[in-house]
Structure 1
Amino acid sequence: MRDKVQRLSNGPRPENGEGPIHIVDMEDEEAVELFETLGTQTTYQIYNELQHEPQTPSELADSQGGSLQNIHYHIEKLETAGLIEPVDTWYSEKGVEMSVYAPTHNPLVISFGTDSSRSRLRTVLTRAFGGIGIVAATSLVVEYAVNWWQESGESQSGTEISTVTTNGESAQPSVVDVIVNSPGLTVFVLGLLVIMLYTIGQLRD
């Protein structure tokens, strides 16, 4: 069903964007409505699926194993609570409009603090998510640059080096091999570690 819907769509499937962080305080009425809405298992499962990728009601009905009418009921609950919204419109082969739904806020954070602590939490998380984007971009640049440098060196020398054992079988890659062969991944993992330590340190202060 999903492949069929994608072929019938007017464009590519929209992606969940990294929008501004939405922090909900436990004492706010919004938090009460949020928990009441997500208290139903089917509603929660639908919201969780939409966190991974935007989908149409028909796709959700297939994955949840429920009727389309029941799915529309839960979608209406999520939309009324401001948790999801239509982000695109597709058309079936019969010309029927199908709304594509995605989370309204991505990410959504529940806070148990005062106004000052919520403000601090927002600042720390905003910096953390921004840092992840920078680390991801940097890792891609590093991976591309190192691969280009290695390919240039191999083309000039005309040789290719491989690690083998004494019996001719390929050796298991060591940590050094992983770092050398996947520099972009190494940069990304180390960057995430630094961001995690920074975030933990800021939240503890």
Structure 2
Amino acid sequence: PAHLHRLAGKCYSYIESTYKYEFCPFHNITQHEQSFRWNAYSGILGIWQEWEIVNNTFLAMWMREGDACGNENRRTKVILTCGGSSKLAHVSEPTTCVYSLTFETPLVCHPHSLLVYPTLSDKLQMEWDEAEQALYENLITEQGYNNILRDIFEDAGFLKSQKVKEKPEITTTSKTHDSLQKCNEVSSLERIQNHL
């Protein structure tokens, strides 16, 4: 939701036991061990990825791709709740390497502040309306409906895309070049291919 972007560029700290957590909405969350040990932990618990959306409501922010933790990366679910001021209220680690954070802010106190539908463009709202109608008329299954909603949320930028981008095929006929210009063209194409 656009009104929550007022939090972007700000960071909020919370100290729990011997750890200091710093949450920077739409950026990342870090953890710093408050210790005099020479190897005190300091690292990233997650980088902003996407919203968790349930029942037409922004439920939580997901911060993923944090520092390595065994065979996976650390990740954090940030739950937004109503509060008198913007602050971190609670941090826990319900399972190893997966953190749960409660962030209070007055920006979510209005009962409609976390609804997804009003934040969508007219085009995406129309797509959602059509999906609702198709589900109502039994033209699509519940799974098909949920897939359409996921596509809508991805198009809106609320969810990270799960679609695999196809690499365009660029063919070169020969690795030998008859001119400097041809060499530069092939070199440029190879650089582009490497970035895709």
Task: Work out whether the TM-score is over 0.5.
Answer: no
Q: Which has the larger radius of gyration?
A: 1
TM-score (norm. length: structure 1): 0.24
Bigger fraction of residues in strand: 2
TM-score (norm. length: structure 2): 0.25
- Specify which structure has the bigger relative contact order, considering alpha-carbon pairs within 8 angstroms and separated by 6 or more residues: 1
Bigger fraction of residues in helix: 1
